[in-house]
Amino acid sequence: MLDRTLFTSDHEMFRDSVRKFLENEVVPFHDAWEEQGYVDREVWRKAGAQGLLCPTMPEQYGGSGVDKLYSVVLMEEVARVNATGLGFGLHSEIVAPYILHYGSEEQKTKLLPKLASGELIGAIAMSEPAAGSDLQGVKTTAIRRDDHYLLNGSKTFITNGWHADVVITVAKTNPSAGAKGTSLLLVERGMPGFEKGKRLKKVGLKAQDTSELFFNDVKVPIENLLGNENEGFIYLMQELPWERLQIAISAIESAQAAIDWTVDYTRDRKVFGTTVASYQNTRFKLAEMQTEVQIGRVFVDHCIALLVEKRLDTSTASMAKYWCSDLQCKVIDECVQLHGGYGYMWEYPIARAYADARVQRIYGGTNEIMKEVITRSMGLPATK
């Protein structure tokens, strides 16, 4: 396979430390976390102590001030061991950057160091029962009342929602203005009227706490407005390319892990007196999958390089998200087939990866929405 040129020796040293942390603090406990439906909060504090949360955050706010490639290393290593219960990526690479980029100095000083240490856990609440990929369809409202906003509505499918101490909440501060009336509010644990619903039972990602959130006349102080009023939709659009590239990064690493597990399995498993790997169909399938994953990795690495240079655009990130998540599901499905009946058994990592992968084509904007974004960049008319 081609050598990757993105990473320095420092990045690879960091990769080794991440790998050791996952092997010692995550992998042995992941089965139990799947049974209980959430990871233990202690793993967040341990990750923070190791510098694995918010690593790119400036040192003045508790981070290490390193480049985005360290975040990429973290995502790849988590995906490699299929530690899908960890909500570190969303916490460190979506929630914290919103606060860093759009927050007041008071908000940054108050929240970012505690997010970096794992003392606080962050979430972002966009999706609603009737508004998923269509953020313009958000119904949650936040109406100004003197020194606070009165927040009402509900959210669903919220990653880290059950553990969350601070939730970036998408709401309409001017409901009559559509997308132009959208704002972001920092809702904190303990605010009266802010309630967490049940942890949702999902087909996959069973160790990742995903919950409903309810806002019933929550008084959110004016100082908890993130950025400027009615500019929330603009902020969301600015951050989406990185969010979507993160999905592509994990998709490619997950697909590679599936191939690696399958190579090992087919070398050992015998059918009709010979190993499964001895059959031409097996070898050719693996060769095809490895080729496609290598192609995907080259494209994703190019997107990462664009990101580092601050040149990654929404259309290119959408291409990476849709194509790589489609490829992930295709590869894992083929690998399940090569495992035979054991590929459908939960104790095998390929079965868990099969269940966990499917949502990649849905969150971060469905792959159908990705194609709409791409066509608009091509000058094609929008769907009516």
Query: How many CA atoms does the CB half-sphere of 211 hold within 13 Å?
Result: 18
141 strand-pairing partners: 152, 172
Measured N-to-C along each axis, helices 232-268 and 349-357 cross at an angle, to the nearest 10 degrees, of 150
If we measure between CA atoms, which residue out of 324, 318, 329 comes closest to residue 368?
318
Annotated catalytic residue: which of 93, 128, 212, 243?
243
Q: Where are the beta strands (DSSP E) in 130-231?
A: 141-145, 148-159, 166-172, 182-188, 194-199, 210-221, 225-226
| Residue type at position 261 | W
The answer to whether residue 372 is catalytic is no
Contact criterion met (CB below 8 Å) for 79 and 15: no
Q: Where are the beta strands (DSSP E) in the chain?
A: 122-125, 141-145, 148-159, 166-172, 182-188, 194-199, 210-221, 225-226, 270-271, 274-275
Q: Measuring CA to CA, how many Å separate 185 from each of 120, 144, 170, 270?
A: 17, 12, 7, 57
Angle value at C-alpha 235, between 229 and 236, nearest 5 degrees: 120
Tokens representing residue 224 in the block: 């908890």
Q: Is 45 exposed, middle or buried (0-12, 13-18, 19+ CB in 10 A)?
A: middle
| Residue type at position 188 | E
Q: Give the span between the Cα atoms of 197 and 212, in whole angstroms.
A: 5
Question: What is the Cα gyration radius of the chain?
Answer: 21
Contact criterion met (CB below 8 Å) for 26 and 81: yes
- Helix, coil or strand: residue 350: helix
Tokens representing residue 31 in the block: 């089965």
Length of the chain: 384
DSSP 10-21: HHHHHHHHHHHH
Catalytic residues: 243
